[in-house]
Amino acid sequence: MNRRSIFRTTATLLASLALAGPWSLAQAADEAPDAMIKRLSDEVLTIIRTDKGVQSGDINRIMQIVDTKVMPNVNFQRMTASAVGPKWREATPEQQKRLQDEFKVLLVRTYAGALSQVSDEAINMKPLRASPTDTEVVVRSEIRGRGDPIQLEYRLEKTPGQGAGWRIFNLNVLGVWLVETYRSQFAQEINAKGVDGLIATLAERNRSNAAGKKG
């Protein structure tokens, strides 16, 4: 599992969340979780190949798309809370907002440059192992391209009521769950410097990434 393969694969996932086209509430409520992932994946591969801003790694373009498209498809608050761990409940609303904002920028900036390397990949969906009454499921897929197939799993929850539908709150690339990976990093920062220290560290990493330094 090399770093470039993980970056390219996760970039494909992040783009699929961010670049998917609009979907009506009625359609989202009725859509099966694996059908949703297949739709997002197919749409993103088309967009990556045609959007010159995405291909060049234009961070402003990618951030714009994330801000307007990602939220209907992801429970980002749950993703951030899970990554932060128990200290999330002790954080103030302002701290929680800062954590979400900085975490989103970190993810987007980390993988923006890898989008330009996505070319001839295709998505192969695996059979869904779930019952109609399940409210949380794991959708399994693999990305096939120039190298070996890359296993990719999505953890989704069913959202009731207004805006009902499936939302992603974690992902697994080649056996590594994104949230759990960041949780161990965040825990070290929180134990050493508290929640404000974690926010400051994320902000500094984002500033370094924006300046072209390694994050």
Dihedral angle, C-alpha 81, 179, 184, 209, nearest 10 °: -90
Domain CATH for 89: 3.10.450.710
In a domain, 153, yes or no: yes
Asked if pLDDT for residue 22 goes beyond 80, the answer is: no
Relative orientation angle of helices 33-50 and 3-19, to the nearest 10 degrees: 100
- Mean pLDDT score, 11-39: 63
Cα separations in angstroms, 65 against 59, 61, 137: 10, 6, 26
- Mean pLDDT score, 159-176: 81
In a domain, 54, yes or no: yes
Half-sphere exposure of 119 (CA within 13 A, CB side): 5
Structure token digits, residue 14: 């992040």
In a domain, 206, yes or no: yes
The continuous run of DSSP H or E covering 140 comes out as strand 136-144
In a domain, 215, yes or no: no
What whole-number percentage of the chain has pLDDT above 70? Answer: 74
pLDDT digits over 109-123, tens only? 766 655 556 667 778
Asked if pLDDT for residue 23 goes beyond 50, the answer is: no
Dihedral angle, C-alpha 1, 118, 110, 176, nearest 10 °: -30
Whether residue 80 contacts residue 102, with contact meaning beta carbons closer than 8 Å, is answered with no
- Mean pLDDT score, 1-19: 53
Residue span of the structural domain in which 56 resides: 3-210
pLDDT higher at 44 or 96: 96
In a domain, 143, yes or no: yes
* Nearest by Cα to 115 from 10, 205, 203: 10
How high is the pLDDT of residue 69? 61
- Classified as helix, coil or strand, 57 is coil
In a domain, 41, yes or no: yes
- Mean pLDDT score, 102-131: 78
How high is the pLDDT of residue 127? 94
What is this structure's pTM?
A: 0.78
- The one-letter amino acid code at 190 reads I
Whether residue 61 contacts residue 37, with contact meaning beta carbons closer than 8 Å, is answered with no
Of the listed ranges 15-24, 38-47, 202-211, the least confidently predicted one is 15-24
